[in-house]
Amino acid sequence: MRKFIAISVFVISALPLVAQGTAPALNLPRASQHQVLTQTVGTTNITIDYSRPVAKGRKIWGGLVPYDKVWRTGANEATQIIVSDDVTINGQPLAKGAYSLHTIPGKESWTIIFNKTAKQWGSFNYDAAQDALRVTVKPKAAPYAEVFTISFPDVTPDTATVMLHWADLSGGFTVGTNSTAKAMAAASEAVAAAAATDFQTPQRAASFAFDSGNNDQAMKWAEQSVGIKQTMSNLYLKARIQAKKGDKAGAIATAQTALKLATPKDAVLSSEIQESIDEWKK
């Protein structure tokens, strides 16, 4: 009986602790949902952190979002954009780092602002003296979007379009990363520093240059790789470069040399090379 009383006293004594502040915090959804999206462009990461307000039947442009006033480009905290390398915005330079993204919507054009104060609530304490860059964009009519959306609709190895879309308008800007030129420079350094017996580094560099459309440099690196050691893959790469440069006879001869190195394990690559030879002979 005493043991039961003691346990009961312990349980009862613990109850006020829960009632007096140890209960879990109330976690409720925001009206404007949070989203973080990251797009890699070449070797550069672009991250956008924002909240997505909902129209709910309200007039957006010139209403909920007034004309000619600074807007947080979303809801809640000001939208942030983070770039991992130096980039350009519509051709203008922007240093790597984190920025708050503000917008001044006008009837005919929008001003997009990259502000050095990355973390701020809304645009209430926005300071134009901290602007790193401003660009002007022309909004266009777009299918109705109930929820404000930022997206990357077009991406290449060197550029990405960032599109802002809400209600019946959308407008965007282009981020340039110069990734191909940077990668070509890095490849040149790697090939120059490679060991005399390293045929793989110039082959990888040649493959990248070929994919990037720089056929002359691709040929130089492919020939360097083949000169160190002939393999099916680097010979076939050289053949494809030759064909791209218009030398189909040379491409066929190089590809046939590649086929002579084939083993039973190389059936798939051999088939691909033969298909290329047949195509070049047409």
pLDDT tens-digit profile of 175-210?
Answer: 999 999 999 999 999 999 999 999 999 999 999 999
Separation CA 178–CA 146 (nearest Å): 35
The answer, yes or no, to whether residue 20 has pLDDT greater than 80, is: no
Tokens standing for residue 40: 């890699």
What region, left, alpha or beta, does residue 74 occupy, with left being phi > 0 and alpha being psi -120 to 50 degrees? left
Per-residue pLDDT tens digits for 98-155: 999 999 999 999 999 999 999 999 999 999 999 999 999 999 999 999 999 999 999 9
Give 26 or 109, the one with higher predicted confidence. 109
Nearest 10 degrees: CA dihedral of 89, 92, 95, 101?
-40
Comparing 9 with 80, the larger pLDDT belongs to 80
- pTM reported for the whole predicted model: 0.81
pLDDT above 70 covers a percentage of the chain that reads 92
> What value does the mean pLDDT of the chain take?
92
Strand partners, 175: 89, 160
Give the pLDDT of residue 32: 87
User: Which band of pLDDT confidence, cut at 50, 70 and 90, is reported for residue 31?
Assistant: confident
Indicate the pairing of strand 140-151 with strand 131-137.
unpaired
